[in-house]
Amino acid sequence: MPHQCTNCGRTFADGSKEMLSGCPDCGGNKFQFAPTTAAAAESSGGAGADGSGSVDTASDSADASSSEPDNVATRAAETVRDWVSADSADDSSPEAAEQPLSAGSTAARESDRPWPASDDIDSGDSEPPSDGEFEEWPETARRPEDRSGSPTESTGKGSDEQSHSRNPSDRPSSGPTATMADDENSAQADARSEVVPSDDLPTHAEHSDKGGAEHDGDAGSVAGQHSEAETGAGVDSDDADRPPEHGRVVSEPSGQRPSIEDLRAELNEQFESIKIVRPGQYELNLMELYNRDEYIISLQEDGRYVIDVPESWHDDEDD
Amino acid sequence: MGLFTELKDSISRATDRLFSEQEPKRIGIYGPPNAGKTTLANRIARDWTGDAVGAESHVPHETRRARRKENVEIERDGKTVTIDIVDTPGVTTKVDYEEFTDEMDEEDAIRRSREATEGVAEAMHWLREDVDGVIYVLDSAEDPITQVNTMLIGIVESRDLPVLIFANKTDLEESSVKRIEDAFPQHKTIPLSAKEGDNMDEVYDNIAEYFG
């Protein structure tokens, strides 16, 4: 029972849209994310996961994402990895491959539960059938929801073959930031079924940094060339293509990509007098060259340069 | 006795030069690439010292290091003006080796481009630190209103340096001195052809007057 009306105590399944128009029982519009003791026992830091009551599921999910324990991300990552490896080599973790189908009731490995959870929510927005099993779902189920802001990145391309695990076609893959409870579910479903637009991958990478390095690694294995392209682009060039503001990157380290942007901006500032477009092609800022005390006396092939810093000599002499 | 007097005069002249409050003015020859700066510098140097300053070329950025010719004594009306002339690399905001690939192989073109860029940096540095006056050379067959020209002349003006504008290449058909005069009416423009040696008398008159 992830959400609970703070007025009358009615609970709502994660992703329920009923609460969007207020509590059907008492009309209350304040809800809390209600982790249960079992969720806490799961020790995934479920304690922090209370969404601090909000009608707006988007903000709710944002809260959830920010408070989401790393374990969840890790588990989700493991799940994805399992699926993928199951896809490519069934023997690696066959049960993981089957898991999604039977998930709602079977509850095989704990790490797999979170993902199936949304199936159940799909089927019925009401109370989870079995509290015991569902207690951990809220938070884990949130993970995809969380990602829905940057749609479906985690599964990458390998995931169309995963469609056996989900029913992706019933909803558009767009609908990023879960504005409706149902959309959250679709996003969750899509997260495991749709092909990722490569543009969206970077955001995921930033998200996954939050989840942990191993998740990033998983994304690499899942998304295959997508993630390669992503890291390649991130490291080498074209950060401009990436929409860094897309998705809910909160405050966690956003990985190397933004810092490379920063670095580039920094470099541009430092090298504003001469811009090396490429070897043999230069753009010069005459005013900057004129204004500087030091001046470049030698440009090296590798982009380094030698400068003359007359002022420092003067200082020495003066001393 | 005559010998002694001569010796004394000579020492006196040397002393005057050594300790004169007025060192030879250092005149920077500036302008965009291929305006004829080196041709002009060579013309002046040959006329008054017999030496040349540097190699000339129709390929832009032939001059990639500033070159100085010191103690060029120019006599006008019985009066001698001594200047150092500094021939600077052509100033530009963009250097592209592909401009030169017709003339040389790619590797050389890239090196030329790199050196030219270094040369611009050096020229700008000289402008800031080391020149007492500026001869701004323009190809009178080209449109003088460019970012580089406007900026450089602006810098010279901001430093209150004496400046003469030389409308070079008057031997070319497309040459238009008036276009330059109109572009920079606040400065004296002198037409010339450094290559042909046309109008050099007026050039030297003005150098002596402005920089003497």
Contacts of A126 (CB under 8 A, 6+ apart): A13, A16
A205 and A313 inside one domain: no
Residue B13 domain-assigned?
A: no
d(CA A282, CA B113): 8
Domain span at residue B61 reads 27-211
Distance from CA of B5 to the nearest CA of A (A): 42
User: Closest approach of chain B CAs to the CA of A313, in angstroms?
Assistant: 15
Tokens 């998740």 belong to which residue?
A215
Contact assessment for residue A179 and residue A61, using Cβ atoms and an 8 Å cutoff: no
Scan for tokens 């800022």, then name that residue. Answer: A285
Per-residue pLDDT for chain A (319 aa), expressed as one digit of tens each? 577 777 888 887 776 767 777 788 887 777 777 655 544 444 444 333 444 433 444 444 444 444 444 454 445 455 545 555 544 444 444 444 444 444 444 444 444 444 544 444 444 444 444 444 444 555 445 555 444 444 444 444 444 444 444 444 444 444 444 444 445 566 565 555 556 555 665 544 444 444 443 444 343 333 333 433 344 434 444 444 555 555 555 555 545 555 666 665 665 555 567 888 888 888 888 888 888 776 666 676 665 666 665 544 444 444 3
> Under a CB-based contact definition with an 8 Å cutoff, are residues A256 and A235 in contact?
yes
**What is this model's ipTM?**
0.82
Give the span between the Cα atoms of A118 and B42, in whole angstroms. 84
Number of separate domains in chain B: 1
Residues A199 and A304 in one domain: no
Q: Do B121 and A310 touch (CB under 8 A)?
A: no
Q: Are residues A251 and A275 in the same domain?
A: no
Count CB atoms within 10 A of the CB of residue B107.
10
Domain membership of residue A7 (yes or no) is no
Domain assignment of residue A247, given as a range = 70-255
Residue A142 shares a structural domain with residue A290: no
Q: Which of B93, B110, B125 is closest, CB to CB, to A295?
A: B125
- Say yes or no: A299 contacts chain B, CB-CB below 8 A: yes
Give chain B's radius of gyration (CA, Å).
Answer: 18
Place of tokens 């994805």: A80
Beta carbons of A280 and B114 less than 8 Å apart: yes
Give yes or no for a contact between A300 and A274, defined as CB atoms under 8 angstroms apart.
no
Dihedral, A56, A58, A63, A68 alpha carbons, nearest 10: 130
Q: How many CA atoms lie within 13 A of B115 on its CB side?
A: 15
A172 and A305 co-located in one domain: no
Q: Could you tell me if A112 and A140 are in contact, meaning their C-beta atoms sit under 8 angstroms apart?
A: no
Q: Is-contact B80 B21, C-beta < 8 A?
A: no
CA distance B44 to B72: 8
